[in-house]
Structure 1
Amino acid sequence: MPHPVLTKPGVRWALAAGAVAAGAWWFGDQAPYPYSQRRLLDLQLPCLTSSNLDSVLRPRPGERMLEVGPGTGLQSLHVAPQLGSDGRLDVLDIQPEMLDHVMRGAQRRGITNITPNRADARELPFADGTFDALYLVTALGEIPEPERVLAEAVRVLAPGGRIVVGEFFDRHWIPFGTLHRLADGSGLHLAGRHGSTFAYLARFHPCSAAA
Structure 2
Amino acid sequence: MRALFLLLRFVVVAWAVVSALLLYSLTQRYKSSRACPYSWRWMLDNLPRRVVQPVRSTVDSFHIDKGHTVLELGPGPGYFSVEVARRLGPEGRLVCVDIQPEMIGTLRRRLLREGVTNALPMVGDALGLPLADRSVDCAFLVTVLGEVPDRPKALAELRRVLKPGGILSITETLPDPDYQFPDVVRDLCRASGFRLLEHHRRLLGFTMNFAVGEGAPTP
Unpaired segments of 5 or more residues in structure 1? Answer: 1-20
Using the TM superposition, name which of 186-195 and 41-50 deviates more: 41-50
Query: How far 1:53 moved relative to its partner?
Result: 2.5
Structure 1 residues 198 and 176: alpha-carbon distance in aligned structure 2, compared to 1, 3 A threshold: farther
Q: Answer yes or no: is 1:171 the counterpart of 2:139.
A: no
Q: Answer yes or no: is 1:90 the counterpart of 2:95.
A: yes
Query: How far 1:162 moved relative to its partner?
Result: 0.1
- Among 32, 35, 39, the alignment partner of 1:36 is 39
SS of 2:112's equivalent in the other structure is helix
Q: Highest CA radius of gyration, 1 or 2?
A: 1
- 1:152-201 CA deviation, whole Å, 9 max, x = no partner? 10110001110101112221111111111100101111111112595111
Q: Answer yes or no: is 1:60 the counterpart of 2:69.
A: no
Q: What is the one-letter code of the residue matched to 1:175?
A: F
Structure 1 residues 196 and 86: alpha-carbon distance in aligned structure 2, compared to 1, 3 A threshold: closer
TM-score, with normalisation over the residues of structure 1? Answer: 0.81
Structure 2 distance, partners of 1:206, 1:181, is 14
Query: How far 1:128 moved relative to its partner?
Result: 1.0
- Among 126, 138, 147, the alignment partner of 2:143 is 138
- Among 127, 130, 155, the alignment partner of 1:125 is 130
Q: What is the one-letter code of the residue matched to 2:89?
A: G
Unpaired segments of 5 or more residues in structure 2? Answer: 1-23
Using the TM superposition, name which of 197-206 and 89-98 deviates more: 197-206
Structure 2 distance, partners of 1:181, 1:124, is 22
Q: Indicate the RMSD between aligned Cα atoms, in angstroms.
A: 2.5
Q: What is the one-letter code of the residue matched to 1:33?
A: C
Structure 1 distance, partners of 2:38, 2:116, is 22
Using the TM superposition, name which of 41-50 and 124-133 deviates more: 41-50
Structure 1 distance, partners of 2:70, 2:198, is 18
- 1:29-88 CA deviation, whole Å, 9 max, x = no partner? 861000100001003366643233233213111100000000110111110011111110
Hey, what does 2:121 align to over in structure 1? 116
- Among 92, 105, 114, the alignment partner of 1:100 is 105
SS of 2:188's equivalent in the other structure is helix
Hey, what does 2:212 align to over in structure 1? 206
Structure 1 distance, partners of 2:35, 2:77, is 13
Hey, what does 2:56 align to over in structure 1? 51
- 1:100-147 CA deviation, whole Å, 9 max, x = no partner? 111111101110011112111011111110000000001111110111
Structure 2 distance, partners of 1:199, 1:106, is 27
Q: Answer yes or no: is 1:181 the counterpart of 2:181.
A: no
- Among 201, 205, 212, the alignment partner of 1:195 is 201
Identity percentage of aligned residues: 35
Q: What is the one-letter code of the residue matched to 2:37?
A: P
> Which contiguous aligned blocks of 4+ residues in structure 1 show a shift greater than 4 angstroms?
none
SS of 1:208's equivalent in the other structure is coil
Hey, what does 1:9 align to over in structure 2? none
**Greater relative contact order (CA < 8 Å, ≥ 6 in sequence):** 1
